Copies of this chain bind each other. A is one copy, B any other.
Amino acid sequence: MIGIVSGVGPYAGLDLAKNIFDNTIANVDQDHLPLALLSVPSIIADRTEYLLGIVKTNPALAIAKVILDLEKMGATLAGIPCNTAHASEIFSLIKSKLTVNDSKIKLINMVDETILEITANYPEVKKAGVLSTTGSYQFEVYSSPLKKHGLKPIIPSEKNQKEVVHQAIYDKDYGIKACSSPVTAQARAALLSTIEKLVDQGAELIIKGCTEIVLAVPEKHICGVPTIDPSKVLARSLIKHLDPQKLKSS
């Protein structure tokens, strides 16, 4: 059974589940893979706020607890649809907590799978644009592994990250976390203007490196370049690990 750590944020969990269903070969309800989703957002501190030192408790502790609960429900593999939670300061503590608790669950790393997707399916790309939270930005969640694979990350300026991208995700009035159904025109416009800048700087694809960004910019191609949705990559990886014959061709 696939386990989903939801609540980071809540809609991101649904988006991952939908990507799993959308990418499964199924004609009737009964063809779909078993899946458990657990959303307990009140116990999981904001990942960016932790990385920026605004809150002190590492959200890894609560995320590991959710994964252990999913395992108790029967999950044999799990994914966390939150890019910022893949910062090594958080992700490595999740993994060590699972080890300490004798967990047998296979935790799929969404960032690793995304880099693999790019190197395997976009071999001509040398410069990858990255949109993300400020936590992921400062802790190089995508920039660092991209560089390790010989790719140049193209990221917003610090000013643009702080004033435009961060606000599009977190602003209490128009940000995606406060208004996601539907996303506000202001949040979408802010992200689109940033994508345009990244493409102008040579980005040959755009990694939508925060689950909220996918809600605002669902397009597979934008400004003439393809976009990569890590949640979709994670969904396909989870299916492939559980039952490869059920994976739709991409």
Query: Which of chain B's residues have a CB closer than 8 A to the CB of A73?
Result: 38, 69, 72-73
Min CB gap A8→B, angstroms: 7
B14–A28 CB distance below 8 A = no
With A10-B21, A21-B11, A73-B69 already in contact, the answer to whether A39 and B28 are too (CB < 8 A) is no
Min CB gap A137→B, angstroms: 19
Query: Which of chain B's residues have a CB closer than 8 A to the CB of A41?
Result: 29-32, 34
Query: Which of chain B's residues have a CB closer than 8 A to the CB of A216?
Result: none
A39–B34 CB distance below 8 A = yes
Output the nearest chain B residue to A74 by Cβ-Cβ distance: B69
Query: Which of chain B's residues have a CB closer than 8 A to the CB of A46?
Result: 28-30
Min CB gap A116→B, angstroms: 25
A42–B30 CB distance below 8 A = yes
Counting every copy of the chain, the complex holds 2
Q: Per-residue CB proximity of A1-30 to B under 8 Å, as 1/0?
A: 100001111110010011001100011111
Q: A37 near B: Cβ within 8 Å?
A: yes
Q: A80 near B: Cβ within 8 Å?
A: no
B37–A36 CB distance below 8 A = yes
Q: A242 near B: Cβ within 8 Å?
A: no
Q: A221 near B: Cβ within 8 Å?
A: no
With A34-B39, A41-B32, A42-B32 already in contact, the answer to whether A172 and B27 are too (CB < 8 A) is yes
With A36-B36, A39-B35 already in contact, the answer to whether A18 and B11 are too (CB < 8 A) is yes
Query: Which of chain B's residues have a CB closer than 8 A to the CB of A17?
Result: 14, 37, 39
Query: Which of chain B's residues have a CB closer than 8 A to the CB of A34?
Result: 39-42
With A14-B14, A73-B73, A181-B21 already in contact, the answer to whether A9 and B29 are too (CB < 8 A) is yes
Task: Name 19 interchain pairs, CB-CB below 8 A, sorted by A.
Answer: A8-B29, A10-B26, A10-B29, A14-B18, A17-B37, A26-B178, A27-B172, A27-B178, A28-B177, A28-B178, A29-B41, A29-B177, A31-B41, A32-B39, A34-B39, A35-B38, A35-B39, A35-B40, A37-B37
8 smallest A-B Cβ distances: which pairs?
Answer: A9-B29, A37-B37, A29-B41, A35-B39, A10-B32, A34-B40, A32-B41, A27-B178
